[in-house]
């Protein structure tokens, strides 16, 4: 097996008595597009927060390309090459869509760019066109629809050509036509060297995009297989649908 | 130009610098600082200590700048450990502690009596010329402070501050070190406040703890809120407007022949009522922040 880009070793996190992650271990190789699945409350977003520095794990280790980033601050993890989006992509009320993208551009650039005056940027215009946000470029970013905010957050995450891109439900609220476009954009990013970890409930999207899926249930990793194998995996079926009721027994 | 107008304009310029400092913190960066007057106090007491120790006035400026930078860094450090609202309370508390220490420690810059007899700026010039020279100096420094704030607001760093103000989680996800940004903003604005304090001390020729009363902080807040939060033009306009409004209260007292108590009470009403009225009916101020960044 080639060296992992992202390696999780025994990652655990509890909120009080509630064990949200319980010894999760996984390896993601460079260039993979991996779906992170599981029922609501299974710990997917918590795992993403623990990886990306937004929530320090109680135990375990996270490495990116061999660099230990366990419990490092989010900005340090970002600079190590990880970009992420959020399930609920809140956007600023007093910044335009273009300004938000520009802020992402500055963050991805050299520190000396920080004091340069900001202005129009052809690359940002191209990005706005690619994500079909050109018509809302000069509106407050908070006024965008839920789907447009998702697109903007993906566009932001791709600004710095990250080594690992973690997406938390990127297609929720996005128009079906744009989902296809998003699959194309994400595959293109993967082709250019970005590894993807995608939380998603839309199985069609997962099948179109991912080559591999890992599944969480109640904080445990219960499956690691190809998308087409998920429906034949007993543990996955049970996690989503519950245990089958045996003949002769009455469901209560 | 009458002495009165020169005086009010000079003080308005010094408050304008303070309003720009607060705007950099609160307007642009979302740092709700209720203890700004402590940073101003670093400048006034820098001047006072230099005078007491027989140092030249510029050494007092250097002392005030060092005090302010250290206090600004301490404020920023507190911000790493507290949420925004608790940080605001902590800054207010620290400013009050500073005032109480200077009030009660007799051996520290004269205690409640303060320090008087500081040399007035441009003392060697004839009185009329000196007054105009001071006004020109303060106006020039206000312009410098304004240019610095505009430059920051329109830079990439300014965009990161706006993002920190509104969506800190997104800013962190993009790779911004918010603690570092907070430190830079606090140091730059603290230095501006200290310069204002130093000049104020050498304008009044007196430094005392009553200059650090918390209502002074809220006067500066009123300038920012009324002028327009996160609009540098607006906060300078707010500072000038408020300073002139307060300066003309004694004339109103004379016109209506009301007791002297009226003056202090009316000033408080103008500040408190102004903040309240604008927050209710025009929360973006007279000159709102223009979204899109063509001016801030």
| Total structural domains within chain B | 1
Closest Cα of chain B to A163: distance in Å?
14
Within 8 A by CB and 6+ apart from A19, the residues are: A12, A13, A219
Contact across the interface for B162 and A79, Cβ inside 8 Å:
no
Listed residue (A162, A219, A172, A173) closest to A200, CA to CA: A172
Give, in degrees to the nearest 5, the angle at Cα A107 between B173 and A85: 25
Mutation target to probe the B interface, by most B beta carbons within 10 A, among A93, A95, A138 is A95
- Angle, helices B156-166 vs A97-108, to 10°: value is 110
The string of pLDDT tens digits covering residues A113-160 is: 555 555 557 778 888 998 889 999 999 999 998 888 999 999 999 887
Partner A contacted by B291 (CB < 8 A): yes
Res. A106 pLDDT band, cuts 50 70 90: confident
Q: Does A251 touch chain B (CB under 8 A)?
A: no
Tell me, yes or no, whether B248 lies in a domain: no
The three-state DSSP-derived secondary structure of B88-144 is: HHHHHHHHHHHHHHHHHCCCCCCHHHCEECCCCCCCCCCHHHHHHHHHHHHHHHHHH
How do residues A149-164 score in pLDDT, each as one tens digit?
999 999 999 887 899 9
CB pairs under 8 A between A and B: 109
pLDDT digits (tens, 9 = 90+) for B222-253: 999 999 999 999 999 999 999 999 988 888 87
Tell me if chain A has a CB within 8 Å of the CB of B294: no
A32-67 pLDDT, tens digit each: 999 999 988 899 999 999 999 999 999 999 999 989
Chain A residues with CB under 8 Å of B175 CB are 75, 78-79, 107-108, 160
Q: Name the minimum distance, in Å, from the CA of B166 to any CA of chain A.
A: 5
Collect all residues of chain B within an 8 Å Cβ-Cβ radius of residue A51: none
ipTM: 0.86
Residue B264 domain-assigned (yes or no): no
How far B65 CA lies from chain A's nearest CA (Å)?
Answer: 23
Q: Which of A96, A104, A153 sits opposite B291 (nearest CB)?
A: A96
Token output for B96: 């009050």
The answer, yes or no, to whether residue A111 has pLDDT greater than 70, is: no
pLDDT band at A2 (very low <50, low <70, confident <90, very high): low
Q: Looking at residue B12, what is its pLDDT?
A: 96
Quick check: is B203 in a domain?
Answer: yes
CA distance B181 to B51: 35
Letter string b/e over residues A192-204, b meaning 16 or more CB atoms within 10 A of that residue's CB? eebbbbbbbebee
Which residue range is the domain that position B207 belongs to? Answer: 3-212
Shortest distance, CA A166 to any CA of chain B (angstroms): 11
Contacts of A79 in chain B (CB under 8 A): 175
From residue B88, alpha-carbon distances to A175, B75, B184 in Å are: 42, 10, 18
Give the closest of A96, A115, A153 to B155, CB-based: A115
Rounded to whole angstroms, how far apart are CA atoms B25 and B38? 14
Q: Which residues of chain B have pLDDT under 70?
A: 1, 293-296
B278 in a structural domain: no
How confident is the model at residue B265, as a pLDDT? Answer: 84
Residue B200 is classified by DSSP as: H
Q: Residue A109 above 70 pLDDT?
A: no
pLDDT of A96 strictly over 80: yes
Chain A residue at shortest CA distance from B148: A115
CATH number of A6-241: 3.40.50.300
pLDDT of residue A7: 94
- 3-state class (DSSP) for residue B208: coil
- Residue A83 burial class via C-beta count within 10 angstroms: exposed 0-12, middle 13-18, buried 19 and up: buried
Domain residue spans of chain A: 6-241
Among B144, B162, B296, residue whose Cα is nearest residue B227: B296
Task: Identify which of B162, B169, B175 has the shortest CB distance to residue A107.
Answer: B175
CB-based contact (8 Å) between B154 and chain A?
yes
| B246 burial type by CB count under 10 A (0-12 exposed, 13-18 middle, 19+ buried) | buried
- In the prediction, which pLDDT does B296 show? 37
Give tens-digit pLDDT for A185-224.
899 999 988 999 999 888 888 998 999 999 999 999 998 9
């Amino acid at each position: 097996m080639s060296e992992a880009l992202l390696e999780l070793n025994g990652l655990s996190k509890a909120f009080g008595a509630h064990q949200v992650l319980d010894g999760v271990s996984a390896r993601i190789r460079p260039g993979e597009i991996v779906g992170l699945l599981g029922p609501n409350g299974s710990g997917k977003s918590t795992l993403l927060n623990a990886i990306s520095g937004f929530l320090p794990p109680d135990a375990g280790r996270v490495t990116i390309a061999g660099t230990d980033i366990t419990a490092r601050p989010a900005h340090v993890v970002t600079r190590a090459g990880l970009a992420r989006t959020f399930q609920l992509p809140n956007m600023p009320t007093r910044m335009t869509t273009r300004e938000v993208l520009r802020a992402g551009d500055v963050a991805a650039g050299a520190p000396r760019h920080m004091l340069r005056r900001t202005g129009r940027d052809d690359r940002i215009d191209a990005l706005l066109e690619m994500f079909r946000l050109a018509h809302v470029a000069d509106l407050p970013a908070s006024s965008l629809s839920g789907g447009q905010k998702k697109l903007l957050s993906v566009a932001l995450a791709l600004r710095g050509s990250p080594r690992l891109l973690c997406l938390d439900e990127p297609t929720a609220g996005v128009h079906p036509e744009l989902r296809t476009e998003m699959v194309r954009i994400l595959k293109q990013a993967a082709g250019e060297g970005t590894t993807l970890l995608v939380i998603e409930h839309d199985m069609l999207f997962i099948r179109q995009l991912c080559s591999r899926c890992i599944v969480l249930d109640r904080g445990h990793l219960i499956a690691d297989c190809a998308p087409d194998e998920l429906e034949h995996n007993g543990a996955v079926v049970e996690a989503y649908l519950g245990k089958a009721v045996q003949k002769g027994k009455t469901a209560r | 130009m009458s002495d009165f107008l020169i005086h009010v304009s000079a003080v308005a310029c010094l408050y304008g610098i303070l309003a720009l400092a607060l705007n950099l913190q609160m307007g642009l960066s979302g740092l709700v600082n209720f203890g700004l007057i402590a940073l101003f106090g670093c400048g006034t007491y820098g001047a006072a200590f230099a005078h007491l120790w027989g140092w030249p006035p510029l050494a007092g400026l250097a002392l005030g700048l060092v005090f302010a930078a250290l206090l600004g860094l301490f404020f920023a450090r507190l911000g790493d450990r507290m949420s925004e609202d608790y940080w605001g309370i902590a800054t207010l508390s620290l400013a009050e502690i500073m005032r109480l220490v200077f009030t009660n420690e007799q051996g520290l810059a004269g205690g409640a009596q303060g320090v008087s007899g500081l040399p007035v700026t441009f003392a060697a010039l004839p009185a009329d010329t000196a007054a105009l020279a001071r006004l020109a100096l303060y106006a020039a420094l206000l312009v410098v402070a304004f240019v610095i704030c505009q430059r920051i607001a329109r830079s990439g760093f300014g965009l990161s501050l706006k993002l920190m103000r509104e969506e800190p989680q997104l800013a962190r996800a993009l790779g911004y070190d918010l603690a570092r940004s907070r430190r830079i903003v606090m140091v730059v604005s603290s230095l501006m406040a200290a310069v204002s304090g130093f000049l104020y001390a050498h304008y009044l020729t007196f430094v005392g703890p009553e200059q650090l009363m918390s209502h002074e902080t809220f006067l500066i807040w009123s300038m920012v809120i009324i002028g327009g939060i996160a609009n540098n033009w607006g906060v300078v306009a707010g500072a000038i407007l408020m300073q002139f409004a307060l300066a003309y209260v004694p004339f109103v007292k004379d016109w209506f022949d009301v007791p002297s108590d009226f003056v202090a009470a009316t000033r408080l009403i103008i500040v408190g009522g102004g903040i309240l009225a604008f927050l209710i009916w025009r929360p973006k101020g007279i000159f709102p922040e223009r979204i899109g960044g063509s001016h801030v």
